[in-house]
Structure 1
Amino acid sequence: MKKLSLLIIFQCLCLFCYSQSNNENANQSLSNKVFNADSVSKNAFEFAKLSPFNIRKLIPLQYSNISVGFNYDKGELMEAQNAGKIKNTYIKTEGSTQLGSIFLYGLFSYHKTFEDSTMYNHQTRNNVSTPYYFGSPINVSYERAVYNLSALAEKNLLDKNLPIGLGADYRIGNHFSTNDPRGSVSDFQFNLIGTLGYTFFNRLKIGTAYRYGYGQERFSVDYKNNSYSQIVLLPAYNNYLINGYGEAYIKNLERDYNNDEIRNGFDAYINFESGNFGNLYFLYSHIAENQNYLRSNSSGRFNFNRYHLDKNSFNLLWLKNFRNKKLSINLNYNNSKGKDLNYIYLANNYLYNTEQIGLRNILTMQKNATRFNYTLAVNKSGEQRKDGLTGNDVEYNKLDLVGGMGFNKTFAKEKNWGIDINAIYSLPLNSSINVPEINVGQFTQRVIYYDYMFNTSTKIGGNLSADYSFPAFNQIQAGIKVGLTYLERIKMPDTNYIYLPGKDRFSSNISLNLYF
């Protein structure tokens, strides 16, 4: 009941935000559509959604959007535990408004996903570094339904020099496979943030925040046809446990457990605004998360693994306006380090480390009713996983180069159309793999080796999207957007591995977008 009440409260807040914008005229709806096509403004909008601290500065006062869409992905150029084919239908609504002196932002989204051909992965797909999970060597199909609600609020006190903010995010998911072995996964996550700042000389704003969150994932594996669970009859249908980053082993009894999560963290903010220099926004965030994998029943409480994850992120955004141009430079760094306590050995067995640093430059130029967006980005990412019991040590690093441009134009009678094209080139950097031959089994060949080959391959690809919008019902700007993405492998290290990633992957999207 408590979860349902929170769901209703947040949804009402989101819908309230949208209803405010519905009272605006057609010019407001067109303005929101144009804002969405402005890459510099949209990038700042996404930055602001990280916390309540910057929503008043970087989110429009009256912005409302509803998007209903369908995504389709297909291809074997993917990580081993991804799905060969994915169909995703979604609806997303978000909006902002001001209620008295309080600035509000709200979002609601729902995703219904059908995955075909996924293996060794009875998971939620949200906890990618987990050291403890079930998996099946045979391909299964998954259905997933995920709801997400978030709300941010900010109010200025002391003559607008003391901004305080509150934020909440709530996600619930239901995931289940439709063929044996039938994984059933349910999860919820609830996160809170409170911010406090102070403004000096109308230019310098500093602040801090406290973050708290908790959640739970519940896992079980069962069989509709009980004969599939008999090892002698059909060994391919065994349930496996992955505990660390070594070989999976059969676990056909007690096929259920929970993962209880607790998070604590803090943020630090520095904003500087100057007409000549531009506006600078800096955010540092640290979150410490503890995950406890266990089973509780009438016989008692049984602990299997305890996992601690430290997350650090730095995000720097610089915005500069010129006469008919806008420039955005975004520098970000993210690092996550995980360490488990394996209760079988009462010692640490699994280590996880991932690091990402990126630089994104966007230039938006406007001439009358025409806008041009130019993007240039570089991103370096890497990951390392170690398993103490087996001695496995796998590390990769890669560099992604992205360039693109977009065109958007508003015509007479408030009609608007645009087109965007982007290209990506991904190349491997220093990587290493150390897996003792004695430890090589099916999981090593089909997951560990496979993922290493995917992440050390050279790839090239691109994205093309186009949209057209028009006024509807005097209050709404309605539009259709379509997009195509293609990624191809052009080079892969020479090995004698049996299982290798495919040649390419294709994605498409179509959506109906309404702006108020």
Structure 2
Amino acid sequence: MRGSEVRAQSTAIDSLSHAAYAQSYSWQQLYHFAVLNKVWLKDEVKNNFNRLDADAYLAKGNWIDAQGATQLRALELSTQGKTNVGGFSVWGKFNYYRAMEDSTRLRHQTRMHTDAPVYFGSLKNNYYERNIYSMEAIVQYCFDRQRLPMTVGVDYRVGNHFSNNDPRGRVADFQFDLSAAVGRVFPNGDIHVNFLYGYGRERVGVGYKNDKYANNTADPLYINYYMNGFGRAKDQVRDIRYNDDFIRYGTDFLFSREVFTDHKVFAKAGWRYEQQFFKFYDSSPLTYTPLNKYKRNAYDLDVLLKTSASDASPRVYRLHAGVVDGRDYNYEIAQNNYVYRKETLLLEASDRFKNISIKAALGYESTASEDGSVAISLAYKSLKPALEINQQIPLAVKAAIIPRICLSYNHVLDSEFSLPSVFIPTFTQTIMQHNHLYYTTSSYRVGAGLDYQLNNVQFGNVVLGVYADYWQPSTKVNGTNYIAIPGDDRFQAGVRITAFF
């Protein structure tokens, strides 16, 4: 990007108020794209943009997947922003999430690795509490007269998840990712190569407070189940304790280029490899018994096109395509047993017409999971259109309201399901039938929100907001196993306070 164009871009972004920048779908789509890919932090993110968010919400309803909570109360606090220190561009984010889940059943875990083949669960509803802390930081510096950008990113997360009724479970986790990129700036664009390395651990332990449940083998509600594969569940009343030690690494190739006088394209092609090693720790000479080694390759293509930023808000188009391939090595049967594949495609467009912002999206997803040893498989394909609109309505010189509405639909195109009824445990039948009914039933979502914006107050712009969302399947869900049937709907409502400074 030429020097005059960099100054024009910076002036266009920086002349906006923080609230206007945050309310524009176009600017925010570009913001999240630049922060996710890191290397365009300096020129594509508004300088000195800082925000503090507090979000409290509750959700209730049984239209959830097998890992969801029928009742949920959550609080989320976060702060993020960008600043320039000398020649360095610095962006950081801190997020705290606390949730109280009144009823979680079937699959209990951190939810970081939802396609992992090893987890534990029970048929009984459990009360769970979750505390998750995450921190991200990006630092960018340009050498050689702004022609050689160097970018470093750090991502750290630590979580604690536990239930306090029988059967009791506790999952502790952490992960750390480090990335580094080097690039070259040309008169009409730039190129970068990024490298990533990360590692982490999930530590699982399950027990009982009441001894009468610890020795129970008759009531299926109080039996713990251990899953090693897509459908290889077995009851294990005691001693469910294992670690998932994982490593990941990958690389990205990124570039941007001006394709016309008022258009610029950004693109990233990336690859990630992750290995998850599940181990049961014991007193053996090796100190552990290996359970499963799950290897996962992810490929993604992310392309964004924006118009000139000289207008109050650019027009932005984005295409994201991804493929995930996973396969395990199950040490209990000494061979590969579980395979997983997911393909996604997402098209998004954002624009602003006077004081109305519009974001439209069309997504496609194809997911297939299979367990070879017990002949269980689930595959489905779905199309997901979505539309979101907000409008800024001035009330006075220093105040405005912003109503918002969003609509989305999940249309199932095709599905396949195989679940042999012979010798399949109750837990396996329940979790598989539940997810089959949930993921292969079309559904829709309707959402609305209203923000009240105060401008030029003593410590910056402040936005107070309320919102609500409603989900419902488009047809009645029926099944032979009544405890496996998802519910009829789900409702979520919350309040949010955002301060810009």
Which bin holds the TM-score, normalised by the shorter protein?
over 0.9
2:292 paired with 1:305: yes
2:329 is matched with 341
Match of 2:421 among 412, 430, 437: 437
1:408 is matched with 392
SS in 1 for 2:112: coil
2:336 paired with 1:352: no
Q: Relative to structure 1, is the Cα distance of residues 167 and 410 closer, same or farther in structure 2, using a 3 angstrom cutoff?
A: farther
1:273 CA displacement? 2.6
**2:246 & 2:85 partners in 1: Cα distance?**
34
2:9 is matched with none
2:194 is matched with 209
**1:301 & 1:481 partners in 2: Cα distance?**
51
What are the equivalent positions in structure 2 for 1:73-472 lying under 5 Å apart?
73-200=59-186, 202-232=187-217, 234-273=219-258, 276-299=261-284, 300-321=287-308, 326-366=314-354, 371-410=355-394, 412-471=396-455
1:381 CA displacement? 1.0
2:10 is matched with none
**1:304 & 1:474 partners in 2: Cα distance?**
58
Amino acid at match of 2:306: L
**1:232 & 1:496 partners in 2: Cα distance?**
24
Amino acid at match of 2:422: I
Amino acid at match of 1:273: E
Contact 1:70 1:510 in 2 (8 A): yes
**1:481 & 1:118 partners in 2: Cα distance?**
29
1:23 is matched with none
Amino acid at match of 2:314: K
**2:405 & 2:217 partners in 1: Cα distance?**
54
1:440 CA displacement? 3.9
What are the equivalent positions in structure 2 for 1:13-32 lying under 5 Å apart?
31-32=17-18
Contact 1:420 1:465 in 2 (8 A): yes
Aligned residues: 485
Identify which range, 249-258 or 173-182, moves more after superposition: 249-258
Per-residue Cα deviation, 1:397-453 (whole angstroms, up to 9, x for no partner) = 111111232101455443232111111122101111122221443223321111111
SS in 2 for 1:346: coil
1:472 CA displacement? 6.6
1:63 is matched with 49
Q: Percent identity?
A: 27
Contact 2:217 2:237 in 1 (8 A): no
Match of 1:482 among 466, 483, 486: 466
Contact 1:29 1:515 in 2 (8 A): no
SS in 2 for 1:430: strand
Amino acid at match of 1:390: V
Q: Relative to structure 1, is the Cα distance of residues 325 and 32 closer, same or farther in structure 2, using a 3 angstrom cutoff?
A: closer
Amino acid at match of 2:254: Y
Amino acid at match of 1:285: G
**1:254 & 1:47 partners in 2: Cα distance?**
44
Per-residue Cα deviation, 1:77-104 (whole angstroms, up to 9, x for no partner) = 1112211011110110001000111100
1:355 CA displacement? 1.5
Identify which range, 35-44 or 435-444, moves more after superposition: 435-444
2:497 is matched with 512
Task: Name stretches of at least 5 consecutive residues in structure 1 with no aligned partner.
Answer: 1-27
**2:328 & 2:251 partners in 1: Cα distance?**
23
1:352 CA displacement? 1.0
What are the equivalent positions in structure 2 for 1:487-498 lying under 5 Å apart?
487-491=471-475, 496-498=480-482
Amino acid at match of 2:226: L
**2:282 & 2:238 partners in 1: Cα distance?**
14
1:39 is matched with 25
**2:478 & 2:122 partners in 1: Cα distance?**
28
Contact 1:30 1:414 in 2 (8 A): no
**2:138 & 2:33 partners in 1: Cα distance?**
13
**2:494 & 2:210 partners in 1: Cα distance?**
37
Per-residue Cα deviation, 1:28-55 (whole angstroms, up to 9, x for no partner) = 8981111000110001111111132011
**1:234 & 1:457 partners in 2: Cα distance?**
31
* TM-score normalised over the length of structure 2: 0.93
Contact 1:247 1:443 in 2 (8 A): no
1:365 CA displacement? 2.1
The root-mean-square deviation of aligned C-alpha atoms, in Å, is 1.9
Contact 1:29 1:477 in 2 (8 A): no
**1:66 & 1:514 partners in 2: Cα distance?**
5
Q: Relative to structure 1, is the Cα distance of residues 410 and 208 closer, same or farther in structure 2, using a 3 angstrom cutoff?
A: farther
Q: Relative to structure 1, is the Cα distance of residues 90 and 493 closer, same or farther in structure 2, using a 3 angstrom cutoff?
A: closer
**2:115 & 2:459 partners in 1: Cα distance?**
46
* TM-score normalised over the length of structure 1: 0.90
Amino acid at match of 1:389: S
SS in 1 for 2:474: strand
Task: Name stretches of at least 5 consecutive residues in structure 2 with no aligned partner.
Answer: 1-13
Per-residue Cα deviation, 1:164-213 (whole angstroms, up to 9, x for no partner) = 1000000000000021111011000000110111112x212111100000
1:325 CA displacement? 5.7
SS in 2 for 1:186: strand
Amino acid at match of 1:399: L
**1:451 & 1:379 partners in 2: Cα distance?**
20
